[in-house]
Amino acid sequence: MSVPETIIFTRGVPATESFPTEDMAIAAQEAIRAHGDTILQYGSAFGFQPLREWLAKWHDADAENVLCSNGSLQIIEFICTLLLQTNSRTVFVEAPTYDRTITILRKYGAEIVSIPLQSDGPDMAALEAALRKHRPRFFYIIPDFQNPAGATCSGEKRRQLVALAREHGFLLLEDSPYRELRYRGEAQPCLRELAPEKVMQFSSFSKLIGPGPRLGYVIGPQNLLKEIAREAENNYITPGLLAHGSVYEFCRAGKLPAQIEKLKKLYAPRLEATLTALDEYLPESEPTRPDGGFFLSLTLPEGVTTMDVRARAAEVNLQLADGRGFFADGGGERFLRLPFCALTPQQLQVGVARLADVVRRTA
Ligand SMILES: Cc1ncc(COP(=O)(O)O)c(C=O)c1O
């Protein structure tokens, strides 16, 4: 008897078939030929200058306000080194939030306060109550197609967030690697556009081209970028300029818009397939219905924990993540994140059918 294929719902990785392999091969060659003297050498911690300029134009910012690094997660780590070296180490995050950021925050001794996330962004009453008790250094927030919940922050909450950041003097760390992957609806302004002096906005090519080049960047106030650059220099002798140059050539050749369209065409039906399968096999689950990104999430029925479901799921070749990892202050026992981009619609249907069966047997 053949063993059923393992369906992996644990990792938010891009689909392998989404990689623009041929165009990146051309871009890498072009980059080495045109910029070899610079990108085969050590370079500035701010990153490859033509890429900074290209990104600044794309994001309607100044090149001085852009720093390109080796992945966006590492920049968050640099910020923790800079901002959490004092006695005041309180930071706010959404609950749930990106588990790797929680790990980094803990590594730097942050005192993490969780603000519950609603379908349209952070619970503002809870945020205001937390601000009466704490003075955070920053609020780490993923406003677009949040990882892990799939929620997008409303325009009204974005404006309230920047008003609170100004009033209470904290920074907003806006992590936005999924922002370009909108499958329906209208984009809201990013927090940085609303308050450039109060926001460090991160993004990355990990979800647009691939995670391999490790190309992340931050747009923010120049004084902070200078400190981040110093911190980067203390960590690595040079950013990965070969990747910077290759991605620059890819973008300069005008390939990015078509690549983003390709991703949307590939991923939107995968989101739909997951929701259709949930409606059919697990109609009581009330999943989030994101307008883009990589993830949707749901709360398992009362009395059914993700831990129990995970153990049983593993027996039928279904891999699920432990929901508790996304909650910094406890909770998440019944939380389930479903990353849908790296599975085909058929695999998603099979995965959700298996999930429904396991949930029924666990209840
Ligand atoms: C919200 C969020 N931030 C950062 C990252 C990591 O990005 P990078 O590969 O640029 O370090 C991810 C990857 O899954 C993510 O979901």
307 alpha carbon, distance to own chain's centre: 24
pLDDT of 4 reads 82
State the average pLDDT over residues 277-293.
95
d(CA 302, CA 339): 22
d(CA 151, CA 303): 25
In short, whether 93's Cβ falls inside 6 Å of ligand 1 is no
Mean pLDDT over each residue of the chain, to the nearest integer: 96
The answer to whether 119 touches 288, Cβ cutoff 8 Å, is yes
In short, whether 96's Cβ falls inside 6 Å of ligand 1 is no
On the 0-12 / 13-18 / 19+ scale of CB atoms within 10 A, 264 is: middle
Sign of the CA dihedral running 176, 143, 191, 154: positive
Ligand 1 atom closest to the Cα of residue 205 is: 10
Confidence of residue 3 (pLDDT cuts 50, 70, 90): confident
pLDDT in tens, 145-186: 999 999 999 999 999 999 999 999 999 999 999 999 999 999
pLDDT of 87 reads 82
Q: Whose CA is nearest to atom 5 of ligand 1?
A: 73
Confidence of residue 221 (pLDDT cuts 50, 70, 90): very high
Q: How far is CA 22 from CA 27, 29, 285, in A?
A: 9, 11, 41
Interval between CA 73 and ligand 1 midpoint (Å):
6
pLDDT greater than 90 at residue 86: no
pLDDT of 174 reads 98
State the average pLDDT over residues 277-292.
95
In short, whether 142's Cβ falls inside 6 Å of ligand 1 is yes
In short, whether 306's Cβ falls inside 6 Å of ligand 1 is no
In short, whether 318's Cβ falls inside 6 Å of ligand 1 is no
pLDDT of 9 reads 97
In short, whether 175's Cβ falls inside 6 Å of ligand 1 is yes
State the average pLDDT over residues 221-249.
96
d(CA 298, CA 335): 6
State the average pLDDT over residues 118-135.
98
State the average pLDDT over residues 343-357.
97
Question: Which of these, 163, 51, 148, 17, lies nearest to 93 by C-alpha position?
Answer: 148
pLDDT of 1 reads 59
Interval between CA 335 and ligand 1 midpoint (Å):
20
Residues 6+ apart with CB under 8 A from 222: 64, 65
In short, whether 116's Cβ falls inside 6 Å of ligand 1 is no
pLDDT in tens, 107-123: 999 999 999 999 999 99
pLDDT in tens, 315-336: 999 999 999 999 999 999 999 9
d(CA 194, CA 199): 9
Interval between CA 52 and ligand 1 midpoint (Å):
19
Residues 6+ apart with CB under 8 A from 39: 31, 32, 48, 241, 242, 244, 245
State the average pLDDT over residues 223-230.
96
Ligand 1 atom closest to the Cα of residue 215 is: 10
Torsions phi, psi for 295 (to 5 deg): -130, 145
pLDDT of 85 reads 83
pLDDT of 25 reads 98
